[in-house]
Structure formats: C-alpha cells, structure tokens
Amino acid sequence: MDHAAEAQRTDLMTITRHALNEQGRHPESRGDFTILLSHIVLGCKFVASAVNKAGLAKLIGLAGETNVQGGQGEEQKKLDVLSNEVFVKALVSSGRTCVLVSEENEAAIFVDAPLRGKYCVCFDPLDGSSNIDCGVSIGTIFGIYMIKDKDNATLEDVLQPGTHMIAAGYCMYGSSCTLVLSTGNGVNGFTLDPSLGEFILTHPNIKIPNKGKIYSVNEGNARNWDAPTAKYVERCKFPQDGSSPKSLRYIGSMVADVHRTLLYGGIFLYPADKKSPNGKLRVLYEVFPMSFLMEQAGGQSFTGKHRALEIVPSEIHQRSPIFLGSYDDVEEIKSLYAAESSTA
C-alpha cells in the first residue's frame, strides 16, 4: 500500500471516534457512555470471531438445554451460551452498568456494588441462532437505558417504555460484520475492518425510504392472522392502485430482515396470531431497539394498537406484535387497524 492510501486509512471514522464526537454534544458528559459502548463493541468483535470459527471449533450443535424463551425454533446452541457469557462479562467489567437483561437469563442480573454504573442494558446476545448451521446472518441486539439511582436499582427501573431508551443498536454477523447504532441523533452503520480490528463508519446517517417495494413476513402463519394483517399482505401481492406488487423477502433472522428493511425500505411484520396472541418478539431486547432505530431513521413502528416505543412492559421477557419499516407502508397498516377498530 502506498503512503497516500495509508494516510487515507488513518482518516477513517472509527466507532470510538464517532462516540467521542457524540459525547462532545453533551458538555456534562464524563465519558461513561463511550466506555460502555467500547465494551459492547468488544463483545461484538469476540462473537464475530466465534461465529466465523463456529464450524471449525465444533461449537455448532445443541448445548443440551433449552433457553428460557424455549419452544419451537428456540433450541439453544453452544454459540448462544458463549455469546451470552461474553456480553455479560464485557458489560459488568465496564463498571458502567447496574442491571442487565438478557434473552438467555430468566431473571435480570444486578451488578455487584463495586462495579455498578448508571446504565441498564437489555440485549439478545445471538438473535436467529437456529440459523447458525446454514450460514444465514445472525446478530446481537441491544438497548440502553439510564437508571435514576444506581445504588437502589430495582426491576421497575428496567420496565420502562422504549421512549426512555437513550441508545440502541445491533451487530449483524454475515458476509461482513456490521454494527448499526443510534444514540438518539440519527442512525449510523459501521463495518468491521478485519485488517484493523476496528469498526469503520460506512453508512453515515441512514435514512429509510418513505415507501418500499419489499414486505417481510412468515406467510406460513397466514391462516392464523387477524383481518388487518391478512388484508395488508393481500394488498402487497395484489395492489388496488394498479402499481407493481411488493416482493416478499423473509430470512427468519430478525437482525438480517430489519437490516435489509432499514437500507432498502419496505415493511417487516411479526403480527399476533391465534397461535401467539401476544406476538412472538420480545419487547425489551427486540421490539424496542429495532423500533428506536427505525424511528431515528425516519420510519415507524406499530404494535397493531399503538406506537411500539410506548409499550410499558410488565415483565422482562414480555412479547409484542410488531410492524416496522418505511413510514408510508406502516401508515397503511395502521389505517387498516383503525378501520377495523372503528367498525368493531
């Protein structure tokens, strides 16, 4: 590589530099959030490496137990266990967290007093892990809250609406390792440069198109859907205005499906149905972080009843239906639900 190219590489915007720039917008900041973020990033790098080596390291296969969200499609892989341990240790050792909520742990983790900080982190350490065997993109999802009193933190501090979230993001482990982050000031995407071991800003200020050409849903559940969802999907396939039908794209890994929706536009649906009347996706570490990112990028997120971020959870593993994506596409399904409730 020539000297000009080397000089250009040193001018790259790393995720740490980005966090420090964001910190500069808050003069009262002491750098606690930047330290917390650096530990999340470290966890993502570790898991990215483990995912890449999963086949070689014989980490694939059942760990011999089911995770607390057990049931169909939720068998626990060894990589799940490893990822959870990595993130718990990384977050606790940051000295900036006081409560952790993980998909893999039945109860919330309260950090010991000497290492306690002012943040609560809710996370799914390895979302879509049932796809590990076939090489489909999987990821880590996280949402961050600030706790009022770190020395007297309770479960109530965790059960806050998503509107109180201060930051959210996900890291997708696929053909490249991509970390998408919002600290409440827009959405930015970073890609891991393996030669530097650094996340570099590659997708600055992501904005979702107002309307998209893709819908993403598990149509295998169609017979159990309610009328507005069924009507919306029918419209996607047979538009009433003579426009081209939308394309169906469904990977079955939330991080991958939402990532595509964020970049290309369209809508991602995981509605309630007769089989799962409360929906399937978890509020604190799936619905809230993805809804936060979607709104920050100019999209919308809806539960079938109201704005997703306004849910007030009553338990840490609570589930909810979700419709998120391009503003106009979500607006259309909102109008279908509104029409149904007005005739009910």
Name the pLDDT band for 130 (thresholds 50, 70, 90).
Answer: confident
How do the domains of the chain map onto residue ranges? 15-205, 214-342
Separation CA 126–CA 47 (nearest Å): 9
Are the beta carbons of 215 and 184 closer than 8 angstroms? no
> If you search the block for the tokens 């998120």, which residue do you land on?
324
CATH number of 15-205: 3.30.540.10
| DSSP string computed for 182-215 | ESSS--EEEEEETTTTEEEEEE-S----SS-SEE
pLDDT surpassing 70 at residue 57: no
Model confidence pLDDT, tens digit, residues 62-97: 445 555 665 544 444 588 889 999 999 999 999 999
Name the pLDDT band for 344 (thresholds 50, 70, 90).
Answer: low
Question: Which pTM was predicted?
Answer: 0.91
Looking at CATH, the fold of the domain delimited by 214-342 is given as D-Maltodextrin-Binding Protein; domain 2 (3.40.190)
Helices then strands, counting H and E runs in the chain, come out as 9, 17
Assess whether the region 15-205 and the region 214-342 belong to the same CATH fold.
no
